[in-house]
Structure 1
Amino acid sequence: MRKDLDMALVRAFLAVVEAGGVTRAAASLGVSQAAASQQIRRLEEALDCRLFERIGRRLALAPAGERLLAQARRLLALNDEVWSSMRTPSFEGEVRLGVPYDIVGSFVPAVLRRFAKAQPRVRVSLVCEDSKIVREVLKSGGVDLALTTETECGRHGETLRIDRLVWVGVPGGNAHLRDPLPVSLGAPSCVFRPVAIEALGKARRDWRAVCEVSRMEPVHAVLEAGLAVAPLLRSSVPERFEILGRDARLPPLPEFRINLYALPGLSPAARDLADHVRASFSGRAA
């Protein structure tokens, strides 16, 4: 006998995985912690397996949960894409999307490909700046939607993903061993810059700035040359670089949120692009 999965349960499962716990997942889903826990139990009962296990205070995926993860992401992404394409009429015009430099290359292409296929008569204009500037441009009406990387989420925003800021270098490099530590910190408006400086200060690690721009091309060039390390979001690290572990003796960095902001009164085309952004993040590997 064939059975159908409840997509709300699949969405709850992915929310717990990406949030790292039920409490944060419940907040992102807009339900109580008890309701989120019940959804996970219902999914485990439907699949007749245990999806999570506790390791100390940490909630980790059980082997069955690891098997389900990739399939659940594909299933939810397809569900959201079908729902959006079938319920949304065809639009015309332009939508302006603000995106920070640190995630434009890793996340935006997939969003734009899907949106262009669904809405070929809508032109998307990109505005790339640091997150602080992107939010200012949104407030002034310069963009319709804004993606940001921040430690918190402000008014008119929603968190699409919680990700860890990590130290990154080139495989086989030794920049992390130098004293003072050579660091690519981004421009003064970069949200990662003060966080990295504070962490290095608390660790009493002497450092010097090697690259102080936020555009990723020069940052990646400095990293690839082995001249510095840089703080980047884990999910945006290109494959040619490596995340430096504890043996690199670098201070731990905090979590950041990838947020989507939209002011009231969005055009139908902008609302549809926002739906595509949400669908892309719900189906992308963490």
Structure 2
Amino acid sequence: MKLIKRPNVSTIRNLDLDLIRTFVTVAESGSVTVAANLLHMTQGAASQQIKRLEDRLDCLLFVRKARKLELSRHGEQLLVKARQMLRLNDEIWADMTAESLRGSLRVGVPYDLVTPLASAMKAFAEAHPHVEISLECAASLELCEAVDNGRVDMSLVECLASEAEGEVIRIEPLVWVTGRGSDAWEKRPLPLSMVDERCAFRPVVLGALADGNIPWRTVFESGNIEATAATVRAGLAVTTWLVSTVPPDLEAMVPRAAGLPALPPFAICLRLPSTVQPAALEFARYIRESLSHDTAIAPSRLSVLA
């Protein structure tokens, strides 16, 4: 019989997942204060947890530059595997509690991501029929607040890729969109239709137009993506959407060919509270599987304005 070798207990070292979660949150937000708010703890407690982790690992994980925390070389090395640890931890919880998932799940989602999220919702609902999903649609800024104050259990949000917070599901281009055969993009002031005045795209779009000295006027802001699409289809305005959300009967324009400024990429991020219910962990897994594939601009989706 083969003897089973017992581990040497004196050499076993265990990492505290609470410390790891705090480290990842600080690393992703670049601020102990922001991380403390996301984790619902005081700034002092968050700082103390980072110090405890550094003491355990006997290295500095952060350096302060220009009033912002940046990862040290050791911190960058740890972050990759720390994220893997948290994801595996969350998946284990989801797997072990999957059969008993019940109750309600409140999910926040920007207006333009409701349709892309549909397949994940359908698959989750079929696998977990005893969980009642409800959606709250709003601008990303409002949804971040909703996660922080507990109004929703989890949320997708959109933000500049360079300022992404939380878990980045994917990054894709923000593009100008026009109706087929429309000349709205040629008009000045540029007729602009946005879904919501608090839309994450709005300040970026207006800033780009200002930098390009392009005058604009608002045609429509309703909080309803279908109504926005209707104004674009009718040739009354142009709008901006993530490339994957552009309806097939509308066109994503090449900025230079249309005389419009290029727009920066945006990240679709998953925001979870510090204490996550099992149903939210499980639904997060469905979201990752559904939305995390790479997205690129296909030539057939671009306008022939060039």
TM-score by length of 2: 0.63
Pick from 97, 109, 113: which aligns with 1:99? 109
| Structure-2 residue corresponding to 1:279 | 289
Contact 1:166 1:233 in 2 (8 A): yes
Amino acid paired to 1:252: A
| Structure-2 residue corresponding to 1:160 | 169
- Measured on the aligned residues, the alpha-carbon RMSD in Å equals 2.2
Distance 1:186 1:200 in 2: 17
Distance 1:284 1:126 in 2: 25
Shift of 1:85: 7.1
1:116 corresponds to 2:108: no
Distance 2:294 2:101 in 1: 26
Shift of 1:247: 1.2
Alignment size in residue pairs = 206
Contact 1:223 1:230 in 2 (8 A): yes
Amino acid paired to 1:144: D
Distance 1:169 1:102 in 2: 16
Distance 1:117 1:97 in 2: 17
Contact 1:85 1:118 in 2 (8 A): no
Instruction: Spell out, residue by residue over 1:225-261, the C-alpha distance to the aligned partner (whole angstroms, 9 max, x if none).
Output: 0110001111111111100113111110111110000
Amino acid paired to 1:115: F
Distance 1:252 1:90 in 2: 48
Pick from 240, 265, 272: which aligns with 1:231? 240
Instruction: Spell out, residue by residue over 1:42-83, the C-alpha distance to the aligned partner (whole angstroms, 9 max, x if none).
Output: xxxxxxxxxxxxxxxxxxxxxxxxxxxxxxxxxxxxxxx9xx
- For structure 1, the residue ranges without an aligned partner over 5 or more in a row are 1-26, 33-80
Distance 1:283 1:206 in 2: 37
Contact 1:168 1:230 in 2 (8 A): yes
Contact 1:160 1:258 in 2 (8 A): yes
| Structure-1 residue corresponding to 2:73 | none
1:178 corresponds to 2:183: no
Pick from 204, 208, 219: which aligns with 1:195? 204
Instruction: Spell out, residue by residue over 1:179-233, the C-alpha distance to the aligned partner (whole angstroms, 9 max, x if none).
Output: 1110113332111111111101111111111012232011011011011000111
- Shift >4 Å, 4+ stretches: 84-87, 283-286
Contact 1:165 1:254 in 2 (8 A): yes
Amino acid paired to 1:202: D
Shift of 1:89: 2.6
Pick from 134, 151, 156: which aligns with 2:143? 134
| Structure-2 residue corresponding to 1:4 | none
Contact 2:172 2:295 in 1 (8 A): no
Percent identity over paired residues: 40
Contact 1:162 1:258 in 2 (8 A): yes
| Structure-2 residue corresponding to 1:143 | 152
TM-score by length of 1: 0.67
Instruction: Spell out, residue by residue over 1:15-68, the C-alpha distance to the aligned partner (whole angstroms, 9 max, x if none).
Output: xxxxxxxxxxxx9xx649xxxxxxxxxxxxxxxxxxxxxxxxxxxxxxxxxxxx
Distance 1:138 1:86 in 2: 25
Shift of 1:145: 0.4
Pick from 267, 270, 275: which aligns with 1:260? 270
1:269 corresponds to 2:279: yes
1:215 corresponds to 2:231: no
Larger Rg: 2
